[in-house]
Amino acid sequence: MTTKMRSEIAEQPAALRATIDALLPRTAEVQALAQDTRQTLFVARGTSDNAAVYGRYLIEARAGRLSALGAPSIATTYRRKLDLEGVLAVGLSQSGRTEEIVETIEWAKACGAKTVAITNGGENSPLAQVADLALCTLAGEEKAVPATKTYTTQLAALAVLALGLGADVDPDDLRRVPDAVEKLISDPGDLQAVVDGLADKPGVVVSGRGLAFSTALELALKLKEACYLHAMGLSYADLLHGPIAVVDEDTPAILVAAGEGPTLAGTVALAQRVTGAGASAFGVGGGTELAAASTAALNGPDLPEWVAPLGLIVPGQLLTEALARRLGIDPDAPRGLNKVTQTD
């Protein structure tokens, strides 16, 4: 029987096409709203927070604008006012109904920020209603608890946001994403070998850097919530500062990289170090260089680095779904989780 998660993975090309077609013409609205701002503050939790990491790296690296991840508890728990004049605050919530995120965006506006909502909940969702501008994704209803199509369409919305903020990238690259994702779903690479390599392992380290760091965090989260693995998502720079000591025969590494860009060489070198120490290194993306240095590899998208994360997560989603089934776990309804999580 096909799981809901697997079906929703397959729906991503159509969801991405619809979202990109709807949002790409709206870059001028982003530009107009942000014209008197200098910095970007992202507000999110869970998978949406991982998407925000992509937004932060993209906007800093390609639009030259200082960006940061906000702590919602400053607004909702400590109730501290901040001077947010000159700040563009971006709230991300797949449902648009996470009360903490809605409250934090209201707080940011009261503190002087301009506000943007990125949500799959539609224009009438609470988050869209409180923001100055809503970029609503068109993923359709997502029934499986682990987010797949709502995550990748969030990344598409963040790419549009970056374009509106003046990112020095080609919008046509974004239009290529749905076809690249479709190709990955049809041919994810050596999926069975990676499933076999993880099936008897209690934990795994997932690592990437720069724009691929968000993918490492998101894949680690998926393996934790759907496969119950002790999965640690780290920048490879942080991994080398000490946590690499946990990588051994019982704790393999999954290493994520775009097929081009300044972080690829370091990722390949890390794969060589891991396998040289007798541990398994499973590559995701990184082209032939990372595949050659890895124990087994999943394919990455044929896309420039700035949009590669929209495709890089897809083989990781397929891995999570297949590994969960291998372990006898229903990936659609992991224990202890609901589709919408409310926090104070």
Kindly list the catalytic residues.
339
Amino acid, res. 119: T
Task: Decide: 247 and 253 in contact? Cβ < 8 Å.
Answer: yes
- Residue 289: how many CB atoms within 10 A of its CB? 16
Rounded to the nearest 10 degrees, the angle between the axes of helix 191-198 and helix 309-326 is: 60
Task: Kindly compute the dihedral angle of the four CA atoms of residues 304, 309, 310, 316, in this order, to the nearest 10 degrees.
Answer: 130
| Chain Cα centroid distance, residue 145 | 16
The C-alpha atoms of residue 50 and residue 44 are separated, in whole angstroms, by: 8
Q: The tokens of 269 are what?
A: 């070198």
The C-alpha atoms of residue 319 and residue 196 are separated, in whole angstroms, by: 10
The C-alpha atoms of residue 221 and residue 44 are separated, in whole angstroms, by: 15
Q: The tokens of 200 are what?
A: 């008897």
Which residues contact residue 147 at a Cβ distance below 8 angstroms, ignoring those fewer than 6 apart? 46, 47, 94
